[in-house]
Amino acid sequence: MKNIAVIGAGTMGNGIAHTFAQFGCKVQLIDVSENALEKGMATIAKNLDRMVDKGSISAENKAETLANITTFTDLKEGVKNVGLVVEAATENVDLKLHIFKQLDALCEPDTILASNTSSISITQIAAVTSRPTKVIGMHFMNPVPIMKLVEIIRGYNTSDEVTQTIMDLSKQLHKVPVEVNDYPGFVANRILMPMINESIETLYNGVAGVTEIDTVMKLGMAHPMGPLQLADFIGLDVCLSILNVMYDGFKNPKYAPCPLLVNMVMAGKLGVKSGEGFYDYSESRKAEKVAHMFSSK
């Protein structure tokens, strides 16, 4: 388990790669886009600089972490000689199934295949492989280097041995793994997303404004960030995708996404990553302020 492949160099993927590399693993970070890899590595370097400035790691630790990461655009080359692959691609069922079919064909028979999916069935993902006992969910929280929780999701056929291996590995990363069963949304998003959706409904129905809703939840419920600001940080497209997965899985109208959320996503207002969501992030300093709030935890 000292050789790890991570698929996807976006927000979650580069955070996962950073975390494994920081704790001594050799990480093969894979993305089809060279530009995404460059941005991912720049983000890792910037986050490590913050940690050095805060005194949580040394400059030597930063150099060692970066040296532990090698980037690849070719999947076949990127998954060679690894004991674990963590997929952190876009939250899209068809894309994930396609990736896992490829991984099953390219990886050694003993390689464990994990998905960072936040809502999609691990059992469904495992079913497209010839190794369902070795497929598991490893759902990190954002920002990965800071947040302690990892949801460990067992598919229907995931073995006890693989589950324990991933639980132990998570602890080696100084994370707190929590084992959950394979139902849409798992635990974190099954509870979080309806709250975010209800907050959007509250705005949609004119009960209160964005700032007012977030202020009530921050001051009244001691949430560090209001649900609408959190939705912006997660990405409104990601929130919509997760709600759709839960609605399709449970056929319960309480998971149906609010029309306002649907319209905002169609209009390209996705939150921090697009520069506008429930809040305006068009000025770079505003986006940096949100990032700093999380990095200072």
274 among annotated binding-site residues: no
Q: Is 12 annotated as a binding residue?
A: yes
In order of 174, 191, 237, 276, the CA distances from 270 in angstroms are: 32, 21, 6, 6
118 is catalytic: yes
Catalytic pick among 14, 68, 115, 118? 118
d(CA 123, CA 127): 6
273 is in an annotated binding site: yes
The one catalytic residue in 18, 47, 121, 139 is 139
Q: Does 142 count as an annotated binding residue?
A: yes
Distance, in Å, from the CA atom of 212 to the CA atom of 226, rounded to the nearest integer, reads 9
- Is residue 96 part of an annotated ligand binding site? yes
Report whether 83 belongs to an annotated binding site: no
Q: Is 31 annotated as a binding residue?
A: yes
| Catalytic residue, candidates 189, 241, 244, 274 | 189
What is the Cα–Cα distance from 89 to 12, expressed in whole angstroms? 8
39 carries a ligand binding annotation: no
Q: Is 269 annotated as a binding residue?
A: no
Burial 45-82 (b: 16+ CB within 10 A, else e): eebbebbeeeeebeeeebeebeebbebbeebeebbeeb
Residue 138 to residues 52, 219, 265, 279, Cα–Cα distance (Å):
27, 32, 27, 30
Known catalytic residue: 119? no
Name the one residue in this structure whose structure tokens are 């759902």. 139
- Give the pair of three-digit tokens for residue 70: 């090698």
Tokens encoding 102: 């490829």
Q: Per the annotation, does 175 bind a ligand? A: no
Amino acid symbol at 227: P
118 marked as binding residue: yes
98 labelled catalytic: no
Q: Is 161 a catalytic residue?
A: no
Which of 262, 12, 282, 276 lies closest to 143, judged by CA? 12
Is 9 annotated as belonging to a binding site?
yes
Residue from 116, 151, 241, 274 carrying the catalytic annotation: 151
Known binding-site residues for NAD(+) equal 8-13, 31, 91, 96, 118, 142, 273
Q: Which are the catalytic amino acids?
A: 118, 139, 151, 189
Known binding-site residues equal 8-13, 31, 91, 96, 118, 142, 273
